[in-house]
Structures are given as structure tokens and as C-alpha cells.
Amino acid sequence: MSVTPGRTHVDHLIVGAGFAGLAAAIKLDEAAERDFVVIEKDSDVGGTWHINTYPGAECDVPSQLYSYSFALNPGWSKVYSPQQEIWDYTRRVAEESGTLDRFVFDTAVLDARWDDAAQRWIVRTEGPDGPREYAARTVIAGAGGLSEPRLPEIEGIDGFQGEIFHSARWNHDVDLAGKRIAVIGTGASAVQLVPELQKVAGHVDVYQRTPNWIIPRNEREFSSIEKTVFAKVPGAQRALRSLVYATLEARVPAFARFPVLMKAVEAQGRKNIAKGISDPELRAKVTPAYRAGCKRILISNKWYPALDADNVDLVTDPIAKVTGDAIVTADGVERPIDVLVVATGFYVTEPPIAQHITGREGRTLADVWDGGGMAAYKGTTIHGFPNLFQIVGPNTALGHSSMIFIIESQVRYVVEAAKALRREGLAAVEPTQAAQDAWTAQIRRKMKPTVWQTGGCASWYLDKFGNNTTLWPGQTFTFRQHLSKFDLDKYDVQVSHQREAVNA
Ligand code: N01
């Protein structure tokens, strides 16, 4: 292979320093695969938990499950951890891992292109010192499934003269006290931030397109005795973790096979509405008309009381346009505002990063997926894209449990793949088309009876073809089982061109 001057050669290039990238770095390091670099566009580790700093940001997966299995945290303050605590946790884990010397912050990956002659990924980045180029044997993409804010396409929104920002890019310089604020969206982010805005704003208009099922959040702080037990009694925290894990897994049949069981969740949701809202008209507006679970089930004790407050209006008329200082709804009503918060979610089924990854045949991942939707073998590897490993790839996300379990399962698989490459002396692996197609067909089959396909809603889980290409349609331990060993027999392999030449 010819070496281009100015290129940095590494074995593994990891994109993103969130839970996925950090786990990949730590586990590669442990496996003596130490020649890697982690490229992170932001200034620190933590990914979504570093970026999402909106008021009230907390995890809705129980704390005991929301940590790496190899780095339990006895110090969680509450049953559901706040954003800052999770970010602090990732920083601590990163520091203790001894891998931070290979992290490059404030640097964006511009594009990645497979060079078949060199059998390397050529990755261009842009950071504080300008552009840079890497040649990497593998690319491990851990950029996150919910990282690219989706801004709503609403007439006039670009001409809004007040402060406007996305929930995932909170502008802390804006003083919200006494202001007239509009929030577009009523998803997981809005449900957490609106109750905080209600406390300080003069008035809040919440624009709801579709209501969500929202059940109570069984929140409490861990006592100092509990924390001491977690820290000092061997196995105690792990036992609780297992119990939480099993409880969440027990919900899977209702999501995946028997959606009618979700009626129990709907009853909980209705009770939550009745408890939090006194006005029958408002109660009706927030009651969903689809099966619970079809969209992500949210948990909150604060959302309904916030909507019921005197300084909050829930607006359900569709937004017609945004003017310089107001939102106008289809019924012609104009509501003046100072601040506009767009809590409208993320690009999920058409991830922008896919436009910048070019595979073996010169096609981008976006081009390949455009024809039939996102697909990857075991949610991790993609035909036509040798040595590309996607963490939190297609059909790996969860509606019921912790993504960290999935991430760790995938990272194990990737490390096994890296070991196999070395052991077998291979230059590259990519799943066969047949293996990938069979995997995708199996996912589609399993997806058919799920609440996500049958529940009667539109959700960010579904792509433009109506397929759920985001969620894993089963128990998480099944996913782990599938990825427990690297199945080289399902892969097309490349030996190094140098070796080919020697053998010729
Ligand atoms: O985004 P969303 P999110 N005009 O896509 C509405 C994770 N998360 O940031 O439902 C008007 O859920 C849209 O309406 P509709 C979690 O996985 C986790 O809240 O499409 N409205 C919806 O109400 C979550 O699921 C945590 O009809 C428009 C909202 O905007 C995921 O991130 C916390 C619109 C978008 O909701 C995303 O959550 C936060 C338009 N043009 C997030 N476009 C925790 O762990 C969109 N909407 C706690």
C-alpha cells in the first residue's frame, strides 16, 4: 500500500465519543487493539448526554441499567438520573479508562470513503488545526441515532425575529424569565422541558400535533444507606440491576406480539391524565387515539400539571406559519411570542451521516438505503461497506430498556471482528448480501405483529416505506445472543493485496 504524506494511519477510527464510541475505545484497548483514534465533533465525551442540556433533561431508563456493565455507578442520586450526572459518569469512566489520549475533540468527520486499492477507509476531518486525513483499517461509527436535530419545515420560520433554538441545542444565554415562549412538539424532550419553562415563563404555548401516552414516573432519591450498600455489599447493585433488567424485559411481549396487553398501559395513562388535569376539554385533547407503545411511552408526573397551569395553553390547531414575532394557526389565530423552542426530534431513518460514507462501489450509504430503507447485518455491518461497523445501527434501538445493553453487545461483536481480522490475516470483511437480506427479512417478519406497525400511529420509528427500521423487535438478550460471536462464515473476506501479490 502506498502511504500518502500527511495521512495519519490507524487501525481503527471511531466516530463519536458518546456511550457507543467510548465503549468501543475501552474494549478495543482491553483487547490490545490500541491503535485507534476517536473523533468527536463536540468538546467532550458523553454524546447526547453532553449535548442535551435543556432544562429538566433526565433519563427515562432507570439509573441502575443506565451504566456500562463493566463500570457500575453506586452513586446515582435517583431512580432516574439527571443529564449532568450521566455526563459526569461518562467523563469519569473515560478518565479512568486511560484511553483519552486517543480522543480528538472539536473535530467533525467530513466524509469517509473506502479505498479498495489501499484496503483502507480514507476519512477526512475538520478540527481546530484545520483539515486532516486518516487512513483506517476499520471505521466504527458511533455517531448516535438521535443526534441530528430535525427542524420543522414551517412557512416563515426562518424569518422569526425572536430567539429560536432546538431542544437539543439549548441556548442558555437566553433569559426566559417572564417571556412568552412557544414550544413546538410534545415528545420526550418537550415533556421534560415544558414543566421547567412553565415555572419561569410569563406564558407558554405548547403546540401539539399528536398526543403521547404518558404514565407516572416512579421517581425517588436513593438514600445514603442504599448508596453505601451498592458500593460496599458485593453483588447488591448487580442484583438490583438484574431485577430492573428482568422487569423491563417482561414488557417485550406486549410491544412485540400482543399489543392488546397495552390496554393496561392506556389505563395508567388515563389515570395520569385525570390526576394531572382538571379541565375535561384539555383531558380530551391530550388523550391519544392509538395503541399505547406505538409511539414511545413517556413517563412524567409533571407534564399534565404543567399543561393545566394558568400560564400554559395547549394548542392543537395545526401551525399555518410563523411570522417575525408570532405563530399563526390554521384557524387564523395569531399568538405573539418572544422565544420559540423547537422540540421536534431528530433525523433517524435517514441519518445525514449516511450521505458522507462511500462504500466499495462508490455509492454512499444514503444512496444504498434510499432504495429500500436502512438495513445492516445484525444492525452492525453492511454489504458493500467493508470494515464498517455501525453501533446503534438499523433495528437496534429500544422502546423498553437501556441502549447501553445493546451498545455493549455490538461492541463485543466489533472487537471479535477486529480479532478475527488479525487472527486470519484478513484485510477486510463485509457481510454477504444473502446474509444481510436474510437478517432483514427476519426482522421484517418479526416486526409485523408489533405495536409499532399495528398500533395506528405515525412515529419516528417508521421510515418513508412504512417499515420500522429503527427498533429491535424482541428481547435484548436475544440480540446479545445473535451477536455473541463474530460469524466469519457470513462474510465476504479480502486478503491483503500485498499478500495476493506475494502468493501470485
Ligand atoms: O422528539 P420526538 P424528542 N409541526 O420525535 C412534533 C429520546 N429522548 O426530542 O408526534 C408540529 O419524540 C412531533 O409531533 P408528532 C427518546 O427516544 C429520550 O422529544 O410527529 N409538530 C412530536 O411531538 C425520544 O423518543 C429522553 O405528530 C412537529 C415532537 O415534535 C427521542 O429522543 C429525553 C413537527 C418530536 O418528538 C426523541 O424525542 C428526550 C411539525 N412540523 C429524548 N415536527 C429521555 O431519556 C415534529 N413535531 C428522557
Q: What domains can you pick out in the chain, each with its CATH number?
A: 2-148+347-503 (3.50.50.60), 157-212+251-342 (3.50.50.60)
- What 3 state SS string does 56-75 have? CCECCCCHHHCCCCCCCCCC
Span from the CA of 155 to the centroid of ligand 1 (angstroms)? 20
The alpha carbon torsion through 80, 84, 89, 94 (nearest 10 deg) reads 150
User: Measuring CA to CA, which residue among 52, 17, 10, 48 is closest to residue 142?
Assistant: 17
Residue 41: its H or E element: none
User: Measuring CA to CA, which residue among 21, 75, 74 is closest to residue 50?
Assistant: 21
What confidence score (pLDDT) does residue 250 get? Answer: 98
Q: Determine if the pTM surpasses 0.85.
A: yes
What confidence score (pLDDT) does residue 3 get? Answer: 58
User: Measuring CA to CA, which residue among 208, 194, 178 is closest to residue 312?
Assistant: 194
Q: Ligand 1 atom 6: the closest Cα is on which residue?
A: 185
For 439-454, how does the pLDDT look when each residue is reduced to its tens digit (9 = 90+)?
A: 999 999 999 999 999 9
The 3-state DSSP class for residue 38 equals strand
Span from the CA of 63 to the centroid of ligand 1 (angstroms)? 22
| Mean pLDDT in order along the chain per 10 residues (504 residues) | 76 98 98 98 97 97 98 98 98 98 98 97 97 98 90 96 98 98 98 98 98 97 98 97 98 98 98 97 98 98 98 98 98 98 94 94 97 96 98 97 98 98 97 98 98 97 96 98 98 87 68
Ligand 1 pocket, CB under 6 A: 58-60, 146, 152, 154, 167, 184-190, 192, 207, 209-210, 296, 319, 343-345, 460
Q: Ligand 1 atom 3: the closest Cα is on which residue?
A: 345
Q: Which three cell numbers stand for residue 182?
A: 412557544
For residue 493, the tally of other CB atoms under 10 A from its CB is 15
What confidence score (pLDDT) does residue 504 get? Answer: 64
* 24, amino acid identity: A
First to last CA, the chain: 17
What confidence score (pLDDT) does residue 1 get? Answer: 47
What confidence score (pLDDT) does residue 483 get? Answer: 98
Q: Ligand 1 atom 35: the closest Cα is on which residue?
A: 344
Task: Provide the CA 398 distance to its chain's centre, in angstroms.
Answer: 9
What b/e sequence results for 228-264 when a residue is b if at least 16 CB atoms lie within 10 Å of its CB, and e otherwise?
eebeeeeeebeebbeebbeebbebbebbbeebeebee
User: Measuring CA to CA, which residue among 51, 47, 31 is closest to residue 39?
Assistant: 47
Q: Ligand 1 atom 46: the closest Cα is on which residue?
A: 344
Span from the CA of 346 to the centroid of ligand 1 (angstroms)? 8
Q: Strands 108-115, 120-127: parallel, antiparallel or unpaired by DSSP? A: antiparallel
Span from the CA of 486 to the centroid of ligand 1 (angstroms)? 35
User: Measuring CA to CA, which residue among 202, 9, 250 is closest to residue 123?
Assistant: 9
Q: Ligand 1 atom 24: the closest Cα is on which residue?
A: 188
Span from the CA of 457 to the centroid of ligand 1 (angstroms)? 14
Span from the CA of 396 to the centroid of ligand 1 (angstroms)? 19
Span from the CA of 113 to the centroid of ligand 1 (angstroms)? 32
